[in-house]
A and B are shown apart, each in its own frame.
Chain A
Amino acid sequence: MKTIKYEDFSFRYLHQKKSEKALDNISFELDKGMVVGLIGKAGAGKSTLVKTLNGLCPQVDIGYKDGSLFIEGDKVSDFEVNEMATKVGIVLQNPEVQIFSLTVHDDVAFGPSNLGVPADEILKRVERVLDALELTEFGHRSPNNLSGGEQQLLAIAGILAMEPKVLAFDEPISMLDPIGKEQVLNAMFSVAEKGDTISIITESGADIEAVAEFVDYIIVLDHGKVVASGKPSEVLQSDLVEEIGVGRPQISEIFISLKQGGTAVKEIPVTLTKGVESIKNLLEKSKIKTISLPKNGKKKAKREFGKTVIEIDNLHHVYKNGVHALKGVSLKIPQGQMVGIIGQNGSGKSTLAKHVVGLLKPTNKDAVLRVGDIDCMDRKTKLEDIIKVSNYIFQNPDDQLFAETVKGEIEFAPRMLEMTPEEMEEEVKHAMDIFGLWESRNRYVYGLEEDLKTYLAIACVLPMHPEILLIDEPTTGLDTQGERLMMESLHRLNDEYGKTIIIITHNMKTVANHCDRAIVLSKGKIILDGTPQDVYSQTEKLLEADIYPPQVTRLGQALREYGFPDNVLTVDDMVEILKQNLKQ
């Protein structure tokens, strides 16, 4: 008996037309012990599929269902959602809404207690699970005091204590720093290793490298249909994953390029370890002990920047609850630079950004904080003045969007600035043009796709003509294709309109591929500041900030003994090095 069996399963939400389906005629079977990656771009149906496992769709997220789903032989539609909790555990993206109790210990006990598990057995399970996820020392702490990664681990612990047969994780790592991602994935893997559960993880593309390291089976969803499935090495080398916008791990990209260039490649690796091994084999076959580096390689043209537009010196910020969030931060950013700020959850990135737009003031009087020509330390400086020079787009566009239509939303700032109708019309059109929103101008804001919502959030501040734009996680929730388009739009603002762009992100590839400069914050201090090449080559220092460089950089670092540089940033650069040497 298979643990999961979908038979011609279809589902459509109440708001969808008959011709549209969130899940379209799904049929597959999965056996216990498998670690399954459910990949597809945003809106492909991954979350809906996960929610069908315990009947959340259609019982809570109401809609129309066809076909059958069996978990361990039981037809899911015959049970209530909470009854299915004994068999299916789901970990959602946001840990904050999954933690109910006031201590870590109590929260892990919450699930089994609801299921009526005997008290002594609950205590044993709690101890076992906390130990397995290395959370024992936090047992009596308040969950509020855990980091993002630890909170997600706690959410997983709460599910594990219920001992379900199917564990499904709905994009559980997208909001975490690289080490947090690894912690969570390790926990998942250690559970799956025991062999009596199925673990399913959904992924849109940004963390495909991390996920590919752990899964042993992949199902690809597109427009609600299963379009491919199989071993990661088979599925991830197909062009299909690229076509549907998910993208492949960088390591696979390198080998596919080599194969297309005529290098004899037996298998496309999907993990870093396999990739390192395969390259070593190729080098040994070619009897290469030390590689030569391309002399006239494609070097990024050095860009010229303008005058300093942000000047910060010795900035401290202590919150009212005593948390010292920024500890003497100093930096200068010139006009036109594209900067990536990275660091672990809680490192002070957002606090720093809020100072640059005037939402927060330094708590020490001797700090220097200048934005454009404005001295933010001057008591007379008003927020209204700063936001016309420097503006900030929060991570969640839903925090700022409120109007009915796209056009109405963009008109808000010009109206607040009391522009004339003609000026307003011109500004709104200009902002829409930059992000290609003109065609969607009359669309209902809440019905927009995630990428359009982020575009709209940025477009909304453009009528104020800020020369500096800070954007928090612009690519979160986007698939690889969406991420590429978003970054192209930001480049346009940077190149054509001379805006200084500062992005705050957990996506190391975005910084490597798009930024002129990377600033690493750890525990309120800048620990690294330089070009992405310089920053990513300092692995030990990066670990202080719970950061791993992108997979391609780590590949070069793992092959240092052969003379590979430790600061390769892009797949193209690595392919160029390999092609040159493997030809010889």
Chain B
Amino acid sequence: MDIDILKAHDDVELTFFHYGLQPLTKFIAMLSVLIMAGIWLDVRYLVPLFIMGLTLAILGKAPKAWFVVMITALLLTWYPTLRTTIAQVNPEYYNVLDRTWAATPIATIHINFLNLGEMGLTYGTLYWLAGRIFGYMTVVTWAIFFVSTTPMSEIANSMYAMKIPYQIVFVLQMTYKFIPFMSSVINQISDAQKLRGWSLRTINPKKLVERALPIANPMIRRTATIVEQVTIATQIRGFGTGNPTPLKALSMKMIDWVLIAIFTIFFIVSMVGTIAFNWGAL
């Protein structure tokens, strides 16, 4: 999947969201939405944010596979989600919703063990569950929009332009660049060992450790070699000689300033509404 993420920017048809907006603008928009999606529980507040994120991700030509991953991850977490959901039966948890309506039972049982009390499904718990699902999907769709429309090179450029120390940006860049490289090295090592009959399948912990060695040893050595070579190559290219010449300027357009203003106002108003008027609460 790492390799797909890297390739995404090179293979897809570029949209306005790829080249028309500064990463900083997209980041501020995403951040303001993510914070609110993390705080709000009411599905009525979350659905518009989700629809906006989904629309932007689709317009930004985000790979379909990423949405499949999003849904799969959601389905895989069904058990902890359900466990938390059935624990939301108590009507006193609801301060905004009508408590009588929230307490309307669908299927509930009383558990005496450890005084757990009433558990199960009510209108309130289902409403809470819907909010939780849309909160998750809002976060993911906005993240997909940002990642799929913002090449790392643009993020790095913005960071350079914002005078973030070049050593930090360089390390980030290198990490991003070498993740797929290292993942291909690990795949290669694992393939080479599989061809010698290697398999990790065993329930014996001692054997498990022994069988990890054929992967761990070559991987550690390859990593050390690559780190050494990269160190040498950076020295050859004069890295660390002094302060490098800044080549990137943050060229904000009118649309960037307008969007930053809109999302900043959205964030401030939402926070005030949340604190003062219980916006987004249940």
**Chain B interface category by residue count:** 35 or more
A162 touches B237 (CB 8 A): yes
Would you call B231 an interface residue if the criterion is a C-beta within 8 Å of the partner chain's C-beta atoms?
yes
CA of A561 to CA of B197, assembled, Å: 56
B245 touches A92 (CB 8 A): no
Q: Which B residues touch A110, using CB under 8 A?
A: 237, 239
CB within 8 Å for A416 and B245 given contacts A102-B152, A102-B153, A321-B7: no
Q: Which A residues touch B4, using CB under 8 A?
A: 320-321
Q: Which B residues touch A172, using CB under 8 A?
A: none
Q: Which A residues touch B243, using CB under 8 A?
A: 116
Please pick, from A81, A112, A113, the residue contacting B236 in the complex, using a CB distance under 8 A.
A81
Please pick, from A100, A417, A461, the residue contacting B170 in the complex, using a CB distance under 8 A.
A100
Least CB distance from B8 to A in Å reads 9
A412 touches B245 (CB 8 A): no
Q: Which A residues touch B226, using CB under 8 A?
A: 97
CA of A387 to CA of B198, assembled, Å: 11
CB within 8 Å for A357 and B237 given contacts A100-B170, A119-B246: no
B217 touches A402 (CB 8 A): yes
Q: Which residue of B lies closest to A109 (CB)?
A: B247
CB within 8 Å for A145 and B152 given contacts A86-B238, A92-B229, A116-B244: no
Query: How would residues 183 to 213 of chain B score, 1 for a CB under 8 Å from any chain A CB and 0 otherwise?
Result: 0010011011111111100000000000001
CB contact list, A162-176 vs B, under 8 A: 162
CA of A437 to CA of B84, assembled, Å: 62
Which of the segments B22-30, B71-79, B173-181 contacts the partner chain? Answer: B173-181
CA of A94 to CA of B238, assembled, Å: 19
Least CB distance from B53 to A in Å reads 25
B151 touches A92 (CB 8 A): no
Q: Which B residues touch A144, using CB under 8 A?
A: 6-7, 10, 180
CA of A101 to CA of B235, assembled, Å: 15
A417 touches B197 (CB 8 A): yes
Query: How would residues 119 to 162 of chain A score, 1 for a CB under 8 Å from any chain B CB and 0 otherwise?
Result: 10011000000000000000001101100000000000011001
Would you call B97 an interface residue if the criterion is a C-beta within 8 Å of the partner chain's C-beta atoms?
no
CA of A483 to CA of B51, assembled, Å: 63
A116 touches B242 (CB 8 A): yes
Query: How would residues 1 to 41 of chain B score, 1 for a CB under 8 Å from any chain A CB and 0 otherwise?
Result: 00110110111000000000000000000000000000000
Would you call B156 an interface residue if the criterion is a C-beta within 8 Å of the partner chain's C-beta atoms?
yes
Closest 8 CB pairs of A and B: A416-B197, A102-B153, A85-B238, A402-B217, A400-B192, A114-B238, A97-B229, A111-B237
- Can you pick out 11 interface pairs between chain A and chain B where the beta carbons lie within 8 Å of each other? A60-B235, A85-B236, A100-B174, A142-B6, A394-B191, A398-B222, A399-B218, A402-B216, A416-B198, A446-B221, A461-B195
Q: Which residues of A come within 8 Å of B, CB atoms?
A: 51, 54, 56, 60, 81-83, 85-86, 89-90, 92, 94, 96-103, 106, 109-119, 122-123, 141-142, 144-145, 158-159, 162, 320-322, 354, 357, 359, 383-384, 387, 391-392, 394, 396, 398-402, 412-413, 416-417, 446, 460-461, 464
